[in-house]
Amino acid sequence: MRIFRLIGGVLLVVAVSACQSTGSYTIDVDGSAIESSKVAGLSGGTSYSGIPAGGSASHLSDLTATGYATIEDQPADSPALRRLMAIRVAKLDAYRILAAQVYGQYIDASTSIGDMVMADEHFEARVRGVIFGAKLERINPVGTSTYEVTLSLPTSSVRDLRRLYLSSVAISQR
């Protein structure tokens, strides 16, 4: 019986060791690329695919974010002003998405149960951060009722923003 366990264990090790890495990389605080499989306990972060093996931060593309807003929902009297407001809202939405990519999102969730039945469930997501150095890539009308705004943020700015954020957290914890 022990011999079957030993053979099974050896086969499992051989099968697992034959698996190849997918080349998934994560950007660390300094902005350099780290292979996700080499970071203990790493389960998230800003991942980039298609990076050559042994790639560095200079090979990474910029972060991009696209925000959307509908024209009809804007509180203005003239159609032209509603379009301008929709562009501004879409731009702010894109900035929010960039901030979430750089700093992450704070998620707060609660569930109430009464008489063994779920009575209430509440989720709240917050993003807080400073974005500088973003570049407006494009403003596109989507159909006749929506605007799409795409922003990009260079990897060097991401590195600087994360470094500033972590230093402010360290100072506030003193």
Q: What residues does each domain of the chain span?
A: 23-60, 62-174
* Residue 2 or residue 74, greater confidence: 74
Q: What pLDDT digit, counting tens, does each position of 87-146 carry?
A: 999 999 999 999 999 998 989 999 999 888 888 899 999 998 899 899 999 999 999 999
Residue 20 is given by DSSP the state P
| 37: pLDDT strictly greater than 60 | no
**Does this model's pTM top 0.85?**
no
- Residue in the structure block whose two tokens are 């890495």: 21
Sign of the CA dihedral with 114 first, then 117, 119, and 121 last: positive
Rounded distance between C-alpha atoms, residue 46 and residue 65, angstroms = 13
**Sorting pLDDT into bands at 50, 70 and 90, what band is 58?**
very low
